[in-house]
Amino acid sequence: MTVSMLEAASPALDLERIRADFPILDQEVNGHRLVYLDNAASTQKPAAVIETIDRYYRRDNANVHRGVHELSHRATEAYEQARGKVARLLGIGDEAELIWTKGTTEAINLVARTWGEANIRAGDEILLSVLEHHSNLVPWQLLAQRTGARLRFLDLDDQGRLELSRVDDLLTERTKLVSISHISNALGTINPVSHIAEMAHAVGAVMLVDGAQSAPHLPVDVPSLGADFYAFSGHKMCGPTGIGGLWGRRALLEAMPPFHGGGDMIDYVELESSTYAPLPLKFEAGTPHIAGAIGLGAAADYLASVGRDNILAHERHLMAYALERMAEIPDLVLHGPRDPAERSGVVSFTLADVHPHDIATILDGEGIAVRAGHHCCQPLMRRLCVPATARASFYLYTGTDDVDRLVDGLMKARTMFGL
Amino acid sequence: MSLPLDSVYQELILRHYRSPTHRGDMDAPDAVVTMRNPTCGDDIVLQLRVRGDTIEEVRFKGQGCAISQASASMMSGLITGKSFAEAEPIIARFRDMLHGDESAARDKALGDLRALSGVARLPRRVKCAMLPWDALEEARKQVPGG
């Protein structure tokens, strides 16, 4: 497909209308229209989400699951409705299987602490990959240190794809858990997690999918992925920061000990012991991020109204366009899969001897926001033999005009560095 | 408002970035400091040879951007042959310059390092320019009487 054909292809979204939903995009940065390409780090919020949070604090704010008064009732209703909205977006039929957490990091730590400590013993193995975000690495390192378990790692091929042929060798009867990201935040690689889950189950292991990058970008039907746990973050999918979730199979969640102790997670408390609330409250001690959950519910409504298939089609088109246009830039090295169908939302690159931080500063001067650095994936950077990369990441409000601005900015960086 | 990018990425800076002076290792240094910028993962290893009170030789290595590498290269050149007592006001003036002090940006004592004055207007990059200087201050603590 050529660039001109891509430009002519009819986009799945009415970009002008979508952009008008995001007030923050309507501004200039360093004298240029803001081009926000740091969506893998955090996404912008549509007015519907901002207004929902504003309305909650102005009209309905109170603690949940406690009071008999009107405001507590309204807050509880909105909070639990939000759980239903997010569950529906992700295909989760049993809402009690969706636990609110601060985000992906807390969700993974919850599993490592509760399921992990109840089930992992010295000599057991946990299989991860070298492209994991620190949040899907460090909790398992801590668990391994506490229990004497061993971490094993799936390697990558030269395009940043997991070496699936090695999975069979790495899975043994000692493997108790496999935890793999659905989409790499640093490279954009879409990993075949359903296939890996099947192989994990064949040796009796439990499978966790880090969905921080897939919940926003793919029309994921969580239970049908075939995994046992799925972790995600609200702020990467148009919702507020500080809210996200963990989905787990009911039987596993019920068998797990609680995570934090406190109010809301109890059934009956005596001085020496307590019984615990049923799912999902068993894992939700303390006053939760009520406004955050309600805001994430509004984000789920928003994404559903745009259509997750439409978002996917739009991003596929954009990715093909970006890979094509960036290939025009001399000395630019693209990391990750070359086939646009194998990647989502993220373009990671290096440009000759220009350090990624200098690229990011020069692009910032053009009003373009990208991330530079290790992307919380230091082991992956070492594996790719680069100290850092620059990363442009897209979302539903990103257009081919933004990619054009990025390409122009990179050409400027070349000129500035005398290339 | 536009960023002072042409000033920061001027030829002198790029020359130090691509062909730094004092890059490498030395045998039996008197002080070795490894410093890391945790937000970006860049690092520097600074090595000093000290005779009496004099910094006789400076070597650095590590990963870094144009700003941190040029800063390390020019710093190494400027402090070689100086005592810590002479280096101290230079460190302070350089810090002042990066915090926007315009008189420091004109101070001849900073030599070529004045080329980095534009970094003061890139607040998120001040840490990059300071990294080798922070390492120098740490190195001083390792030297008796430093």
Query: pLDDT tens for residues B113-135?
Result: 999 999 999 999 999 999 999 99
**Intervals of CATH 3.40.640.10 along chain A:** 50-305
B67 touches chain A (CB under 8 A): yes
Q: Do B66 and A381 touch (CB under 8 A)?
A: no
Is B18 within 8 Å of A373 when comparing Cβ atoms? Answer: no
Q: Is residue A3 scored above 70 in pLDDT?
A: no
User: Across chain A, what does the average pLDDT equal?
Assistant: 95
Distance of CA B126 to the CA centre of its chain: 11
Contact A31 B2 (CB under 8 A): yes
Torsion over CA of A129, A134, A140 and A143, rounded to 10 degrees? 160
Test the B interface: residue of A28, A353, A355, A363 with most B CBs within 10 Å? A355
State the Cα torsion A91-A94-A96-A100 to the nearest 10°. 0
Q: Please name the amino acid found at residue A83.
A: R
Query: Which of helix, strand or coil describes residue B37?
Result: strand
Rg (CA), chain B: 14
Which residues 27-56 of chain A have a CB within 8 Å of chain B? 30-31
Q: What percent of chain B has pLDDT over 90?
A: 86
Query: CA of B142, closest CA in chain A: separation in Å?
Result: 28
Give domain A3-39+307-416's CATH architecture: Alpha-Beta Complex (3.90)
Give A9: exposed, middle or buried? Use CB within 10 Å, 0-12, 13-18, 19+: middle
Q: What is the pLDDT of residue B114?
A: 97
pLDDT of residue A291: 98
Nearest CA in chain B to A352: B18
Cα distances (Å, whole numbers) of residue A383 to A132, A182, A378, B50, B145: 12, 19, 9, 38, 43
Tens of pLDDT, residue by residue over A328-378, are 999 999 999 999 889 998 999 999 999 999 999 999 999 999 999 888 888
pLDDT at B146: 66
With 90 as the cut, is the pLDDT of residue A380 above it?
A: no
**Res A326 pLDDT > 50:** yes
Per-residue pLDDT, B40:
74
Residue A304 CB partners (closer than 8 Å, separation 6+)? A85, A88, A89
pLDDT in tens, A119-173: 999 999 999 999 999 999 999 999 999 999 999 999 999 899 999 999 999 999 9
Give the percent of chain A with pLDDT over 70.
Answer: 97
What the block records as the tokens of A362 is 């020069």
What are the residues facing A162 on neighbouring strands?
Answer: A156
Q: What is the pLDDT of residue A212?
A: 98
CA atoms within 13 A on the CB side of B9: 24
Start-to-end CA span in chain B (Å): 43
Contacts of B125 in chain A (CB under 8 A): 357, 361
A1 has pLDDT over 50: no
How big is the CA angle at A59 (ends A57 and A63), to the nearest 5 degrees?
60
Contact A220, A183 (CB under 8 A): no
Chosen for mutation from A32, A34, A357, A414 (greatest number of chain B CBs closer than 10 Å) is A357
Residue B106: give the domain boundaries. 5-142
Q: Do strands A368-369 and B54-61 pair parallel, antiparallel, or not at all (unpaired)? A: unpaired
Coil, strand or helix: which one is B99? coil
SS3 category, B83: strand
Q: Find tokens 């809210």 and name the residue.
A: A243
Q: Going edge to edge, which strands form the sheet with B42-51? A: B31-37, B42-51, B54-61
Q: What are phi and psi of A180, to 5 degrees?
A: -135, 145
Of A309, A334, A315, A313, whose CA–CA distance to A402 is shortest?
A315
- Residue B40, chain A, CB below 8 Å: the answer is yes
Q: Given this model, what pLDDT does residue A232 score?
A: 98
Cα distance from A30 to chain B (closest Cα, Å)?
5
A180-185 average pLDDT score = 97
Substitution target from B7, B9, B45, B124 for chain A, most A beta carbons within 10 A: B9
8 Å CB contact between A214 and A236: no
State the residue for tokens 């009520």.
A290
Cβ <8 Å between B65 and A364: no
The residue of B65, B122, B127 whose CB has the most chain A CBs within 10 angstroms, and thus the best one to mutate to test that interface, is: B65
* pLDDT tier at A270, thresholds 50, 70, 90: confident
Token pair belonging to A274? 């307590």
Predicted-assembly ipTM surpassing the 0.90 threshold: yes
Give the model's pLDDT for residue A34: 98
Beta-carbon contacts of B136 under 8 Å, excluding residues fewer than 6 positions away, are B33, B46, B48, B75, B79, B87, B91
- Here the CATH number for the domain that contains residue B27 is 3.90.1010.10
Asked if A378's CB is within 8 angstroms of B40's CB, the reply is no
Q: Cα separations (Å) of A345 from A233, A368, A394, A396, B106?
A: 16, 16, 5, 10, 46
How many other CB atoms sit within 10 Å of the CB of residue B133? 23
Distance from CA of A408 to the nearest CA of B (A): 16
| Range with the poorest average pLDDT among A81-85, A207-211, B1-5 | B1-5
Range A42-68 average pLDDT: 96
Tokens for A266, please give them. 């109890």
| Tokens 């790495």 found at | A170
CB contact residues (below 8 A), chain B span 74-93, against chain A: none
Cβ separation A416–B9 shorter than 8 A: yes
**Which chain A residues are Cβ-neighbours of B14 within 8 angstroms?**
417-418
Query: What does DSSP say about strands A35-36 and A368-369: parallel, antiparallel, or unpaired?
Result: parallel
For residue A101, give the nearest of A229, A255, A252 by alpha carbon: A229
- CB-based contact B65 A373, cutoff 8 Å: no
Report the range of poorest mean pLDDT among A3-7, A59-63, A222-226, A268-272: A3-7
Active site (annotated) includes residue A377: no
Query: 3-class SS at B61?
Result: strand
pLDDT digits (tens, 9 = 90+) for B19-68: 999 999 999 999 999 999 877 778 999 999 999 989 999 999 998 999 99
Q: What is the pLDDT of residue A263?
A: 85
Q: Does B19 touch chain A (CB under 8 A)?
A: no
In chain B, residues with a C-beta closer than 8 Å to the C-beta of A355 are: 64-66
Section A262-269 average pLDDT: 86
Within 8 A of A373 by CB-CB distance, chain B residues are 39-41
* Residue A6, pLDDT score: 52
Neighbours of A121 (CB within 10 A): 10
A8 band by pLDDT with thresholds 50, 70 and 90? very low
Q: A50-305: what CATH class?
A: alpha beta
Maximum Cα interatomic distance, chain A, rounded to a whole number of Å: 73
Q: In this structure, are residues A372 and B11 in contact, taking their beta carbons and an 8 Å threshold?
A: no
- Residues of chain A within CATH 3.90.1150.10 domain(s) are 3-39+307-416
Pick from B11, B14, B128: which is nearest to A357 by CB? B128
Burial zone of A398 (CB within 10 Å; 0-12 exposed, 13-18 middle, 19+ buried): buried
